[in-house]
Chain A
Amino acid sequence: MRSIVPVLTVVAGIIAIWYGAAIVMNQQWTRDQAERAGVELQLSDIVVDTLSQERPKLPVPHQVAAELWKTTVEKKITSKRSLIYHGWITLSATLLGFAIGTGAGILLAVGIVHNRAMDMSVMPWAIASQTIPILAIAPMIIVVLNSVGVQGLIPKAIISAYLSFFPVVVGMVKGLRSPDAMQLDLLKTYGANKGQSFWKLRLPSSMPYLFTSLKVGIAASLVGAIVGELPTGAIRGLGARMLSGSYYGQTIQIWSALIAAAVLAALLVGIVGLIQRITLKRMGMTR
C-alpha cells in the first residue's frame, strides 16, 4: 500500500502534462476557426475548446476515457464498433502466436543446447531475424501465405510468433545451461542419459529463465499481432482500429485503441507474472 502514493503522483503528473500538451497542440485549430468566424477569443474559451474538439491533434484523457466507455461497455461485444470485439480478434492472434513462438523457441533452445552444429548455426540466424524491421517483413509473410491460401488468424499469429520466439530462445538456452558442473557430474555418477538429465535437471532449472522470457515474449506477441493487422488492410482487430482511425483522422479512436492495447498487454504480462510466482513458489525457487 505504501507504493500507491508515488504511483498516483506519477499518474497525476502524466495527466497534467497530457492536458497541458493538448491545450498547446490543439489551440491552433481553435484560433483558425475563431479567425474565420471573426470572433475574439478569451483564454478560457481556448481552453474549453481545445479540450472538446471532435478531431483534436491530441485528444485529452477524458475524451479517450469516454470513447473507451462507449466502445466497451455501451456497445454489444458482437458490434463492429466494440473494442472488446476488436481486442478479442487481436488477443486470439496474440495467444496463438505466443504459443507457436514459445514452442518454437523452446525446441530451438533444446536443439542449441544439445547439438553443437545447431549451437554454431542457429543463434546467429535468430539474432539476424530480430534485426529485420517487422514492418518490412510482415506484408511479405501475409502475401506469401495468402498465395498458398492461408488467411485470417494464422498469418497474424506467425508474425506474432516471429517476434516472441526470440526472447524464449535466448532465455531457455541460458536456463538449460544454468545447472553447474557439479550438478551435471552428479548425474553422470548415476549414469544418467541425456534425456534424464534434461527432464530431471535442465528443464526444471530453466524455469526462472523461461518465465522471464515469457513476460517479454507475450508483450512482443501482442505487438506482432497488431503490426500484422496494419499492412493487410484488416478490418478487424486493434491494429485495424488504429489504422482506420488514422485514415479518417479519428484521433480519439486511435488513442482509445492504443490504451486498449496497453491494458491488454499489462493484463497478459500480469497473468504470466502470476503463473510465474505460483510455479516458482511451488518449486521452491523464489528467493
Chain B
Amino acid sequence: MTDPVIKAERLDLTFETNDGPVQALSDVNLTINKGDFVSFIGPSGCGKTTFLRAIAALEKPTGGSITVNGVSPDEARQARAYGYVFQAAGLYPWRTISGNIKLPLEIMGFSKAEQEERVGRVLELVDLAGFGKKFPWQLSGGMQQRASIARALAFDADILLMDEPFGALDEIVRDHLNEQLLELWARTEKTIGFVTHSIPEAVYLSTKIVVMSPRPGRITDVIESTLPKERPLDIRDTPEFLEIAHRVREGLRAGHAYD
C-alpha cells in the first residue's frame, strides 16, 4: 500500500453567485494513489472540473479537507507538485513551441542550459522533436495540445491534471493522443487526474474511474479498472472493456435519476 498522493475527505465547495449559493461539490471522499490514472466523468455541472481545480489550488474548498502529497494544495503548488493541462492548448502566439515550454521553467528560475535540456526531453516525450522552432499557428490542433502537455511536463511535476484536454479535437486525433498519453504515463509513472465527457476515453485510459453527478456535485461510483496496463486501441472491443463501460453508464444514469 503506497501513500495517497491526493486525499479528499468530506470535501464541500460552494460558489457564491448573484443567484445565491451554488453547491459545486458535496461530501466528496476520494483517495488517489501514486501512479494512478484517474478519470472523472459526469454530466456538465457535476463538479469534476471544480474538483480538479480544488486539487490544483485554483478553487478554495468551503468544507472538509484535501491534501496533495500530504500537504495543502497551495503548498503543493509551491513545491511544483503538478502540471495542469486545459481544454485549449493556450500557447502564446508570440512564442515558439520551445519558448512556450520554457515559460514555466523561466518563471520557476531554471538555468538557461537546463531549460534547453528539458525542452528537448519533453518535446521527445510528446513526439514533437524538431518542432521546437515552429510557432503555434504552424501546428495542427492535436500538435498544439501535445505541446501544451509538454509544457506541463517540463518541470517534472509528479501529478498531471488534465481538464478535458482532448475535448476540442476530432475522434481520430483523440484516439491517437489517448494512445500516446498512455505510453507517456507508462514511461513517466506520473499520477494523472483526467476530466472527460467520454465514456470510452475514460475506460480506455484509467486505472480508476470516478463517476460524478450534478446538483450538488458528488461522487456516485468509483470503479477500479481490471484492464491490464498494456492497452492497445482494440482493447475497446473486448467484453471486459464493455463491461466496465456499462458500469460507468449505469453510474451516470443513477446519478441522473436522482433529480
Which A residues fall within an 8 A CB radius of B?
182-183, 185-192, 196, 200-201, 204, 282-285
Contact = CB atoms under 8 A, between A and B. Distances in A.
15 contacts: A182-B90, A183-B90, A185-B53, A186-B84, A188-B77, A189-B56, A189-B58, A189-B84, A190-B104, A190-B107, A191-B77, A191-B80, A200-B106, A284-B135, A284-B136
B136 A189 contact: no
Given A204-B92, A284-B94, 15 more contacts: A182-B88, A182-B90, A186-B86, A186-B90, A188-B77, A189-B82, A190-B107, A191-B77, A191-B78, A191-B107, A201-B92, A282-B94, A284-B136, A284-B137, A285-B94
A186 B80 CA distance: 13
B143 interface: no
B239 interface: no
Interface in B99-121: 103-104, 106-108
Looking at B77, B78, B94, B106, the one whose CB has the most chain A CB atoms below 10 A away is B94
Question: Which secondary structure characterizes the binding site on chain A?
Answer: helix
Going nearest first, the 6 A-B pairs with the smallest beta carbon separation are A283-B94, A284-B93, A190-B104, A189-B84, A192-B107, A190-B107
B155 to A, nearest CB: 8
A212 to B, nearest CB: 17
Nearest to A282: B94
A189 B154 CA distance: 13
Contacts of B214: none
A196 B137 CA distance: 24
Contact of B103 (A182, A188, A200): A200
B255 interface: no
Contact of B86 (A182, A191, A284): A182
A284 B58 CA distance: 30
Contact of B94 (A189, A190, A204): A204
B83 A189 contact: yes
Contacts of A187: 107
B34 to A, nearest CB: 20
Nearest to B78: A191
Contacts of B104: 190
Given A182-B86, A189-B56, A189-B84, A285 B107 contact: no
Looking at A185, A186, A201, A282, the one whose CB has the most chain B CB atoms below 10 A away is A186
A283 B56 contact: no
Contact of A185 (B58, B103, B106): B58
Interface string B41-83: 0000000000001001110000000000000000001101011
A185 B136 contact: no
B182 to A, nearest CB: 23
Nearest to B163: A182
A18 B84 CA distance: 65
Interface in B123-175: 135-137, 155
Nearest to B155: A190
A189 B83 CA distance: 7
Nearest to A192: B107
Nearest to A207: B94
A186 B149 CA distance: 12
Contacts of B58: 185, 188-189
B108 to A, nearest CB: 7
Contact of A189 (B77, B92, B93, B137): B77
A185 B49 CA distance: 13
A147 to B, nearest CB: 48
Contacts of B80: 191
Contacts of B77: 188-189, 191
A201 B94 CA distance: 10
Contacts of A284: 93-94, 135-137
A200 B107 contact: yes
Contacts of A192: 107
Contacts of B155: 190
A204 B99 CA distance: 14
A283 B107 contact: no
B136 to A, nearest CB: 7
Contacts of A204: 92, 94
A248 to B, nearest CB: 55
A283 B103 contact: no
B107 A196 contact: yes
A237 to B, nearest CB: 40
Nearest to A200: B103
A185 B84 contact: yes
Contacts of B90: 182-183, 186
B93 A283 contact: yes
Nearest to B59: A185
Contacts of A188: 57-58, 77
